[in-house]
Structure 1
Amino acid sequence: MSFKKLHPLLKESLENEGFETSNAFQKKVLPILKGGSDAYVIAPKGSGKTTALIIATIHKLKAAAFEDSPRAIIVVNDKQSALDLKDEFERFTNTTDLRVYALYDEYDIEKQKTEVYYGQDIVIASPARLSKLYFLNGIHLGEVQLFAIEDADYLGRNNAYNHILRLSESIHKSQFVIISDTMNSKIKNYQNAFMSNAQVIK
């Protein structure tokens, strides 16, 4: 798909970063994500699936901050993954006022509660810390429009699978997206829960 169909501020950021058009895999993924469908996005590393998620997220949020509650939650493996993905998002949000926040275990949870309370649009979080903050009433999930799991191959470790399953039960009317290198048994099991009508894009 052409980037001309994206929000003008997002299009400006893409042009500033030297992106002129989507690659072949992104041409398959972006229309489905932009259309609001739940999806498994399965492809090897380097295929552009993370960039597609970033583009679709910013476009979905209309490239603008809104009120205080997060509207996009992206679950990642750990602190480093959260910080890396935050950096990637900020490459494409620098022409917007979208607020991107990394939520991870190795940080004071009371400070995180305060920082989230003052308003975030996109929260990139490790599963355990997101779950803990939610059950401490430290983050409101009632306005979430997109709930994504990035690089989901880690889900067999550290109870992450169950954290996400419990969190999904608290989120309604959201688009769910799982990004992974392979369709492993853990993420396939989510078809019995919140991914029952998801498209599989390979």
Structure 2
Amino acid sequence: MPFKKLHSHLLDCLAHQSIETPTPFQKSSIPIIKSGSNVFCFAAEGSGKTTTLILTTLQKLKCEAVGNAPRAIILVENKTKVLELYDAFIPYTQYSTLRIYASYEQLHIDVQKSEIYMGIDILITTPKTLQKLFLTNGVSISELKICSIDDAEFLSKKSDATSLIVMAESIKKCQFVIYAEKSHPQLNRLENHFMEHSKLVQK
């Protein structure tokens, strides 16, 4: 069964990459994420979690640039993960107006602030860098529609989890989607903060 009810730009991108059929995880998770619910997504490596994250993020933003403040934030563990995910987005954004920005601790904060100020749609960063940007007025979260955490096992580190929780408390209305291979106690505790009434997809 082919992908259904996705933006025509995304269907074109999938066809260009000869991706015709969703994985079992994608078939289960994409409709639930599209519904706007907070979602925990647990599935093994190779199940299509990263492609799901990309497709649902771009679907949420209708594959077009709007305004200057980011409408999607994706949190990952470190610079390596930031750059890997940035590269994974390129086949889906290079022929659109969407502006995607890679942010990490090793890049001077003033450089990041000035480049973000020029206008972005998607921010890929780490919890600590996002908190630093926010506390120095380097990024606005007023237009945020979706926040995803990829390979969220790294949130077992208390400092990363704390940075995320602090940021989430400042976000008034936003969908959160957490991707990991399996649950762990630190992820479960997020239900007490910003993942209340969340749904679960597990494959």
Which amino acid letter does the alignment assign opposite residue 81 of structure 2? S
Segments of 4+ in structure 1 off by > 6 A? none
Map 1:22-61 → 2, pairs under 5 A: 22-61=22-61
Shift of 1:158: 6.2
1:10–1:93 CA contact under 8 A, matched in 2:
no
Q: Which residue of 2 aligns with 1:97?
A: 97
Q: Which residue of 2 aligns with 1:131?
A: 131
**Aligned-CA RMSD value:** 1.1
Q: Which residue of 2 aligns with 1:14?
A: 14
Which amino acid letter does the alignment assign opposite residue 86 of structure 2? K
| Structure 2: segments with no counterpart, 5+ residues | none
TM-score by length of 1: 0.97
Q: Which residue of 1 aligns with 2:186?
A: 186
Q: Which residue of 2 aligns with 1:157?
A: 157
CA offset digits 1:73-114 (Å, max 9, x no partner): 010000010000000011211221111111100011101001
> Aligned residue pairs: how many?
202
Which amino acid letter does the alignment assign opposite residue 21 of structure 1? T
Shift of 1:157: 2.3
CA offset digits 1:118-176 (Å, max 9, x no partner): 11101010111111010001000010000111101011226000000000011122111
Shift of 1:21: 2.0
Distance 1:76 1:56 in 2: 17
Which amino acid letter does the alignment assign opposite residue 170 of structure 1? S
1:13–1:95 CA contact under 8 A, matched in 2:
no
Report the more deviating stretch, 182-191 or 156-165.
156-165
Q: Which residue of 1 aligns with 2:120?
A: 120
Distance 1:4 1:192 in 2: 34
Q: Which residue of 1 aligns with 2:197?
A: 197
Percent of paired sites with the same residue:
40
Shift of 1:44: 1.1
| Structure 1: segments with no counterpart, 5+ residues | none
TM-score by length of 2: 0.96
Distance 1:80 1:181, change over 3 A: same
2:156–2:187 CA contact under 8 A, matched in 1:
no
